Amino acid sequence: MSEAPTRVWYLAMEHREALRPARPPGPRVAAVRAEIPTGALNRFFYEEVGRGHSWTNKRGWPLERWQAWAEAIETWLVWERGTPAGYAELVPAGDEIDVPSFGLLAGFRGRGLGGHLLEAAVRRAWDRGARRVTLNTCELDGPYALDHYRARGFEVIRERMELRERDP
């Protein structure tokens, strides 16, 4: 792996009213909180969703660290016809809630599941009392990531070039 300059967008939603609903995802789709923290589940989604997008900062974590992470955050899953399709993580930080990881498994992209999941996760953040919800994305996350977040009501608050590890 090598580091290369990468455009990163930092986004925020300042008010609950800014959240724009996603299109209906279709029948037999549900976004639910994973109520039993399971580090192996978070590791699976991180590795699989991040494959091809150079998600590297948590690679190599031992399962014990993944478990501690899962116990410290909220994980939300989107299911289609009984099959887990993607995840979102919510991390409280003072009066903000950050979404450090979000995405769908490759076979489930482009069908409205991501919008449904993001809407549910952000609603939960507001319900938990957040004064602001934040996330970031970069040009490695896919061609529609930034537009997807903006479509739900997030606004870019900062953009910068950062050195990021990239898969070969």
Amino acid at 90: L
* Nearest-angstrom CA–CA distance, 51 and 59: 11
For residue 1, name the pLDDT band (cuts at 50, 70, 90): low
Q: Which domain holds residue 64?
A: 2-166
Its sign, for the CA torsion 152, 132, 158, 86, is: negative
Domain count, the chain: 1
What is the chain's mean pLDDT, rounded?
95
**Whether pTM exceeds 0.85:** yes
Cα distances (angstroms) measured from residue 13 to each of 19, 21, 54, 155? 8, 14, 26, 6
pLDDT in tens, 106-164: 999 999 999 999 999 999 999 999 999 999 999 999 889 999 999 999 999 999 998 88
CATH of the domain at 139: 3.40.630.30
Percentage of the chain beyond pLDDT 70 is 99
